[in-house]
Structure 1
Amino acid sequence: MKRLSLAICIGMAVSGMTAQEWKIPVSENEEPMATGRFTPEWESLQEYEVPEWFRNAKFGIWAHWGPQCVEGSGDWMAREMYMEGNGKYEYHRKHYGHQSEFGFKDILPLFKAENWNPEELVRFYKETVGAQYFFALGNHHDNFDLWDSKYQEWNSMRIGPHKDILDGWAKAAKKAGLPFGISFHADHAWTWYEPSRRFDLKGDKIGVKYDGWLTKEDGYRPNADGTEKWWKGLDPQKLYAQSHDFSDNTWDNGSIHRQWGWENGAALPTQAYVTNFYNRTLDAINRYNPDLIYFDVTVLPFYPVSDAGMKIAAHMYNKGLQGKDDRAKTKNVVFGKILTDSQKKALVWDVERGAPNKIMEQPWQCCNCLGNWHYNNGVYQNGKYKNAATVAKLLVDIVSKNGNMLLSVPLRADGTPDEKEIAILKEFGEWMRINKESIIGTRPWKIFGEGPIANSDIKINAQGFNDGQYTKAGADEIRFTQTDKHIYATALAWPANRKMTIRSLAKGSELYPEKISKIELLGYGKVKFERTADAMTVYLPEKNTNSIMPVIRIRRF
């Protein structure tokens, strides 16, 4: 997460690309791509139609959880622990030892998931919070597979919890009747882990290389006290993936953001590395049959240097085909970031921590987080979580623009949310229980909203990162959704004067010239209103019916 890549995919972003044109063509020798209606070319993938179940779902929850939660220092811990002077570096060295002696590989056995109860958590997310789909982390940039992986020996069955995490999540989602998603992030370990080959530039360990240099042979050399290394027989390079030349400006901590699309001097991966990621991803898809897959990348994995990502997308779509005719629709969803307009027809556009300020023609998704992407003790201790009102107003704004929201709820290393997260989710869930008819199964109205923020020109920063603008929304911000029978209008806070003013529904408005005979406040009932040439004013009851914001329902006929 949190990249600021400005990759521009030229040529290949517009036209299809044949296999011989790719710099690093993936091998299908071990995991053949599923064949069917879709082929790994843009012309074919653009025949994709977003399934109705996803358009109706609107809200999902994501367990963005793995071994980087052990130290509780937040997202990208496995990279930043190798950046001298960084807070994560200092915390790791103080509590675990120098990075040459105790690296991220040594954190993995400490990831126990000892209190993890996937069935209980998924049931809570669905029944109490209102989630309509559920996502699990398959692997992160730390390159550790959270399942019994055929192609990665550094996995959760062999090390740490000795559990197939994806299997547990998949079974829990199926039992709850929720569509299941998996996110894959390990393709970027190639450049992301480059700091693991650094060394201190000051202090008592100047020049001592970190453990990203280690090889399988090093595991057979006894420790200083004569004992065997715990990782004997494992190859650290299959975790760190550092048997390659450095990227340009590798000591510049910010360069990875500029190189995220494999440009600006990023060290290009080998075919073996690309194929390994492809094999691992297809292995997980074929085992756990996800309905959705997510990549934390520009467009698709290894795009535009390899066809691996396009083959994964075609495989996923073909796996989800419902029917055998040439026009059969797929039930599956594949997300991509920083997409061109034509690519948004082939993939569902994902916006990280943000939203466009208009209704999008194609359905899209915002991925956001209650706190940090990986569990962060500082966020917990300092009360930095998004509150329930913020989560709700972000959701309402996103849905009004034809989007879904995927909310990450960080779990501690033991597999549990903390009590502050639970309280926030319960409060939000209570709002959803009363008002979900204005969210689930709706579509955008003629305009998404009105108010100072709605009328502003708010830009997306790279793949998102503008959600702070929307958290400031107050009672003067109105958002609209609709069904065949109703229009819903939500004020993004309770107005202090008990009057909900909606200018778009003024008497004689071109947006809604029809007569309005009845308005109801969800969770309350019929309320008084009046329409003038300036606005429609809805008179709300003296006591708030929920702790967050009001939603009114207007019957269309």
Structure 2
Amino acid sequence: MIELSKRDVLGGSLAALWAGSRGAAAAAATAPVAIRPGRFDASVASLQAYRAPEWFRNAKFGIWAHWGPQAVPAQGDWYARWMYVPGHPCYDHHVKTYGHPSEKGYKDIIPLWTAARWDPDALAARYAAAGARYLVSMGVHHDNFDLWRSRHQRWNATRMGPKRDVVGEWQAAAKRHGMRFGVSEHLGASYTWWYPNHLYDQFWPRLGVEYDGADPRYADLYHDNRTEPFTNKPGTWYTKNPAYHRHWFDRISDLLDSYQPDFLYTDGGIPFGEVGRALMAHFYNSRTGPSGQVEAVYACKNQGSGDFFEGTAVQDVERGVLKGINPLPWQTDSSNGDWFHKTDDSWKSSAEVLAILTDVVSKNGNLLLNIVLRADGSLPPESDRLLADLEGWFQVNAEAIHDTRPWKIFGEGPTEAAGGAFGENGRYTARDIRFTTKGERLFALTLAPPAGPVAITTLRRGSRVEPRRVGSVHLLGRGPVAFRQTASALVVDLPASLPTPQGVALDIRFA
């Protein structure tokens, strides 16, 4: 058990609340937040002058280390919440493995996260080889545990658990391997999400015995918000308490100022109204170059709680896609398994991941993919195999993905992808084809390996979409291939042996 003394509390409005100085906390909450001077302010009109930088539009693929103490039990996502919910498998697992949450709570999981086999440089090298152009580190999840040398939270990875600057080490590794660097923050929802840790069993033999989250000694980890539970109902994802809004701003601006990342993801809409927009302005002003181009990308969701204003940020669609080509760059975030390591998980194959990536890129989007890590920082076999497969595919087909732009239409084929969050589909056929462009080159990528010739109906002779005559076709990884442009389709003959076991990419030039 970790004991708390007043010397350990490192400031911020929650420390004031813990100490009983609610008047000081209220005063801090209403004081203006400090925004770095620049062209942006907290108004929507100002933020709508934002344009996503070219590096993000060119990158197309990033890898996310959605990783932290919740990987320790190997029970998947949201463990820190579900372990306090009787009847949930995580509660049962916790009681059997660690003890009752009135005695052994999440605070006792944190010291078990030692990351003993974590080698960020070796992992970053593999991520870059697998086609990733940006690497994103977890900054803080809903568990309120900071993975950097935090000035406002003693519960952080440099003082507890691995006792390493996880964010800083990921950043250095990304830089060494030529990738842009980003961080994710899930703190905004933590104040309501973690409400169950304040509760107690409603049955014998521990009826009414409070969980450890109700202990005021640990209020800086578990929060002291006992009036705003997250219930899946609209408006409960984010707290309405201005003291927590200021606490969130101080914590996340510390993360941004300390590491100057290129990318920030918020797990929800823009939090907390003007306070959230102030953080966006601070981030954009901090990452504006001499030419006036903003190098920062802020990605957040356009559904559920919080705000989203078109053009102020990059829209993120969790585990989903958009129906067609979006005029503005966007992103989907997904994982090859559960968000945190889970025993007996179900895993995406490389064919599924590459089909999702290709579909997203054809619609002007990026894929940010979590590659699941074990608690010790090592790769499960499924993650290791996926990275090897991605490396092989990108060695052949990278030019059809990186630095491309959408074509006139995103593609063709029989499989209809549902638009919106949590509707991703990696199960496509070889007749499902997606298009990307680079200059005068048109790439046609199949979303599954073809068993014979590829027929592209969009490029048939006399097509209204593309009236030009096809002059040549190259199969990436092989070279020129025979083709014929008929009244029904552009038919491309392929060799018996394909360059990759997933889909193929055709480089099409017009006469």
Q: TM over 0.5, yes or no?
A: yes
Once the two structures are superposed, what CA deviation does each residue of 1:315-365 show, in whole Å capped at 9, x if it has no partner? 1110111126xxx12111101101699823110000100101100000000
SS of corresponding position for 2:348: coil
Distance 1:260 1:342 in 2: 17
Say if 1:24 and 1:531 are closer, same or farther in 2 by CA, change over 3 A. Answer: farther
Could you tell me which amino acid in structure 2 is paired with residue 295 of structure 1? T
Q: CA offsets, 1:153-191, max 9 Å, x none?
A: 111112111111111111111222211000010121111
Q: Distance in 2 between matches of 1:479 and 1:292?
A: 27
* Cα displacement (A) at 1:257: 5.2
Structure 2: unaligned runs, 5 residues or longer: 1-25
Tell me how far apart the structure 2 counterparts of residues 523 and 203 of structure 1 sit (CA, whole Å).
66
Aligned counterpart, 2:263: 292
Assess if the C-alpha contact under 8 Å between 1:25 and 1:307 holds in 2.
no
Equivalent residue number for residue 12 of structure 1: none
Where in structure 2 are the equivalents of 1:483-498 lying within 5 Å?
483-496=438-451, 498=452
1:445 corresponds to 2:446: no
Distance 1:183 1:487, change over 3 A: same
- 2:28–2:243: 8 Å Cα contact kept in structure 1? no
The answer on 1:525 being equivalent to 2:507 is no
Conserved 8 A contact 1:192-1:256: no
1:459 aligns with 2:419: yes
Given that residues 25 and 308 in structure 1 are in contact (C-alpha distance below 8 angstroms), is that contact kept between their aligned partners in structure 2? no
1:377 pairs with 2:359? no
Q: Which moved more, 1:507-516 or 1:269-278?
A: 269-278
Q: 1:301 aligns with which of 263, 271, 281?
A: 271
Could you tell me whether the CA contact under 8 Å between 2:29 and 2:246 is conserved in 1? yes
Query: What TM-score, normalized by structure 1, do the two folds share?
Result: 0.84
1:28 and 1:288, CA in 2 relative to 1: closer, same or farther beyond 3 A?
farther
Query: Which residue of structure 2 lines up, in the alignment, with residue 364 of structure 1?
Result: 330
Matched, 1:256 2:227: no
Q: Which amino acid aligns with 2:235?
A: Q
Rounded to whole Å, the distance in 2 between the matches of 1:151 and 1:342 is 27
CA distance in 2, matches of 1:108, 1:191: 20
Whole-angstrom CA distance in 2 between matches of 1:28 and 1:372: 40
Whichever residue aligns with residue 338 of structure 1, its letter is N
Unaligned runs of 5+ in 1: 1-22, 217-235, 263-267
Matches of 1:416 and 1:307, distance apart in 2: 40
1:336 and 1:349 in contact (8 A); partners too: yes
Of 190-199 and 395-404, deviating more is 190-199
Deviations 1:425-464 (A, max 9, x none): 11122111100100000001100011122xx47232xxx1
One-letter code aligned to 1:539: D
Matches within 5 A, 1:479-518: 479-496=434-451, 498-518=452-472
Between stretches 268-277 and 387-396, larger displacement belongs to 268-277
CA contact (8 A) 1:503 1:535 kept: yes
Letter in 1 for 2:490: M
Equivalent of residue 288 in structure 2, options 313, 318, 321: 321
| Structure 1 segment 60-139 matched on structure 2, within 5 A | 60-127=62-129, 129-139=130-140
Partners of 1:279 and 1:269 in 2: CA distance: 17
Q: Distance in 1 between matches of 2:340 and 2:240?
A: 26
CA distance in 2, matches of 1:427, 1:452: 26
Q: Deviations over 1:114-159 (max 9, x none)?
A: 11111111111102x1110100000000000011110011111121
Identify the residue that residue 310 of structure 1 maps to in structure 2: 277
CA distance in structure 2 between the partners assigned to 1:483 and 1:62 by the alignment? 27
Aligned to 2:249: 278
TM-score by length of 2: 0.91
Residues 556/286 of structure 1: CA separation in 2 closer, same or farther (3 Å cut): farther
Shift of 1:43: 0.3
**Aligned ranges for residues 45-60 of structure 1 at < 5 Å?**
45-60=47-62
Secondary structure of 2:40's counterpart equals coil
Contact kept? 2:321, 2:417, Cα under 8 Å: no
Change (3 A) 1:256 1:161: same
**AA paired with 1:106?**
D
Percent identity reads 39
Q: How does 1:470-485 map to 2 (within 5 A)?
A: 470-485=425-440
* Cα distance in structure 1, aligned partners of 2:328 and 2:215: 47
**Corresponding residue SS for 2:109:** helix
Asked if structure 1 preserves the Cα contact closer than 8 Å seen for 2:302 and 2:308, the reply is no
Q: 1:509 to 1:352 in 2, by over 3 A?
A: same
Q: Which amino acid aligns with 2:344?
A: G
- The 8 Å contact of residues 149 and 156 in structure 2, kept in 1 or not, is answered as yes
Structure 1 residues 439 and 24, CA gap change in structure 2 (3 angstroms) = farther
Pick from 325, 332, 355: which aligns with 2:321?
355
Q: Helix, strand or coil: the match of 2:257? A: helix
Q: SS of 1:330's equivalent?
A: coil
- CA RMSD in angstroms comes to 1.9
2: CA distance, partners of 1:244 / 1:548: 51
Deviations 1:56-96 (A, max 9, x none): 00000000000001101000000000110101110010000
Change (3 A) 1:365 1:24: farther
What's 1:19 paired with? Answer: none
Question: Secondary structure at the residue paired with 1:391?
Answer: helix
**Distance in 1 of aligned mates of 2:408 and 2:295:** 28
Q: 1:241 aligns with which of 223, 245, 260?
A: 223
3-state SS of paired residue (1:85)? coil
